[in-house]
Amino acid sequence: MKLLTRYNRVTLATTVVVMLITGIVYYFFIHFILIRDVDKDLEVEENEVFEYARENNRLPQVFESNDQQISFYEAPAGSVQRRFLDTLYKLTPNPNHRHRHHGEHYESGRGLITSVSAGNQYYKVLIVKSTVETEDLVKVIFLITIGVILLLLLILFLINRLLLNRLWQPFHALLKELRMFNVADNKDIAQIDTSIEEFRELNQVVTSMSSRVKSDYKDLKTFTENASHELLTPIAVINSKLDTLLQTDNFSQQQSKLLSDLYGAVSRLTRLNQSLLLLVKIENHLLGSEQDINLKVAIEELVMQFDEIFQDKGLKVTCDLQDKMLLTNPYLVDVLLNNLLSNAIRHNHADGEIRIKLDGVKLSIQNTGENTALRSENLFRRFHKSASSEGNGLGLTISQQICENLGYDLRYDFITGLHIFTVIF
């Protein structure tokens, strides 16, 4: 759920509830006040009746006026208890009256039952006043209140939408920056123009974090590069000493076995070291300029170069190549082709098959090998390799880095027993 939605939901619900409660309380309060007013009017009327009865010792004449009716009933002495009540007000046809209905009609009214003695007779007195006006007033007030609530809700909703969207703009901008963040490139997180303190703070934290991450990454890379460089010299010394040792006299069977193992290990070490240096260089974009190359020619040369190795392993190689010109870094393309083809040879079985296809949009190198697909999530990870692999586990990482660097796409598929690596230009 979006923050805005959540916020809207909460605020709107709260507003509605509060407004409703306010409305109800307001309604009853207004109602109470107005009824009290009516009751006061009734008491004034009652006093008038009392006064008239005391002065004249008889009941006043009853007439209708001001939406008020007074009626007297004879009653046994002391039987009437004084009280107010909600009652009905009986309308008599009256041309001046608001309600022009035929026959008898009632509207809501408020009554006071009281008693009076006049001429030795005890009377029950009922004074009724119409409360239609009052009720109307309450209704209008209530409607206005509801209207205000609705209007307020609408405005709140719109404000939330427009204003909050605007307010969150810096956040979204920052999010976009973070999404595009890449430790390897030189671009910093842009400063976001905002007057909101929280976002400014977030921006600062993110910026400082990103530069810290970048500098750590750079340190690490520099370390790898330096370490690999420093390793080169001792490896070169070992290599040259081995070559020199080889010139000294006769070796026993055992010694020569040891020597060739050493040669093998040193050459693996050399290759590993070169691969690490190459990776650093690719990531640093430190590899020379672009040239026009015909990929078809490059592949043909490479296939010819590997010819003896194909023969040695009994591999059948089929090429289906079309001319494809690329303006690109020839060195990287060379390494890429070399890696992919080496893999196709290394992970093949004896008398297997390699198919190389090149057309205008893609190059695919397919090879037989183990009859299960490789786990693609680990495929391009550094130093990930199959148990039987003689490589250093960097070949595919380098291939992928090269593709990324040159703007190509490298994909792996396993279809009908063929491992397929496809470079899409």
Binding residues for another protein (CB under 8 A): 229, 232-233, 235-244, 246-247, 250-251, 253, 255-257, 259-260, 263-264, 266-268, 270-271, 274, 277, 281, 286-288, 302, 305-306, 308-309, 311-312, 331, 338, 341-342, 345-346, 390-391
Q: Whose Cβ is closer to another protein: residue 24's or residue 236's?
A: 236
Q: Coil, helix or strand for 187?
A: coil
Q: Shortest Cβ distance from residue 274 to another protein (Å)?
A: 7
Q: Whose Cβ is closer to another protein: residue 87's or residue 274's?
A: 274
Q: Which residue in 417, 410, 408 sits closest to 379, CA to CA?
A: 410
- CA distance to 298, 317, 329, 341, per residue, from 309 (Å): 18, 11, 27, 11
Q: Shortest Cβ distance from residue 233 to another protein (Å)?
A: 5
Q: Whose Cβ is closer to another protein: residue 124's or residue 271's?
A: 271
∠ CA 294-296-298, nearest 5°, is 75
Residue carrying the six token digits 């083809």: 341
Q: Which residue in 18, 16, 26, 37 sits closest to 140, CA to CA?
A: 26
Q: Whose Cβ is closer to another protein: residue 29's or residue 251's?
A: 251
State in Å, rounded, how far the first CA of the chain is from the last one: 40
Which run of H or E residues covers position 69?
strand 68-74
Q: Shortest Cβ distance from residue 296 to another protein (Å)?
A: 18
Q: Shortest Cβ distance from residue 311 to another protein (Å)?
A: 7
Q: Shortest Cβ distance from residue 396 to another protein (Å)?
A: 14
Q: Whose Cβ is closer to another protein: residue 34's or residue 279's?
A: 279
- In sequence order, which residues have a C-beta less than 8 Å from that of residue 2 and are 6 or more positions away? none
Query: Parallel, antiparallel, or unpaired for β 353-358 and 409-415?
Result: unpaired
3-state secondary structure 294-360: EHHHHHHHHHHHCHHHHHHHCCEEEEEECCCEEEECHHHHHHHHHHHHHHHHHCCCCCCEEEEEECC
Q: Whose Cβ is closer to another protein: residue 216's or residue 390's?
A: 390
Q: Shortest Cβ distance from residue 277 to another protein (Å)?
A: 7
Burial of 166 (0-12, 13-18, 19+ CB in 10 A): exposed
Q: Whose Cβ is closer to another protein: residue 147's or residue 264's?
A: 264
Q: Shortest Cβ distance from residue 236 to another protein (Å)?
A: 4
Q: Considering Cα of 40, then 45, then 49, then 55, what sign does the dihedral take?
A: positive
Q: Shortest Cβ distance from residue 338 to another protein (Å)?
A: 5
Q: Whose Cβ is closer to another protein: residue 170's or residue 391's?
A: 391
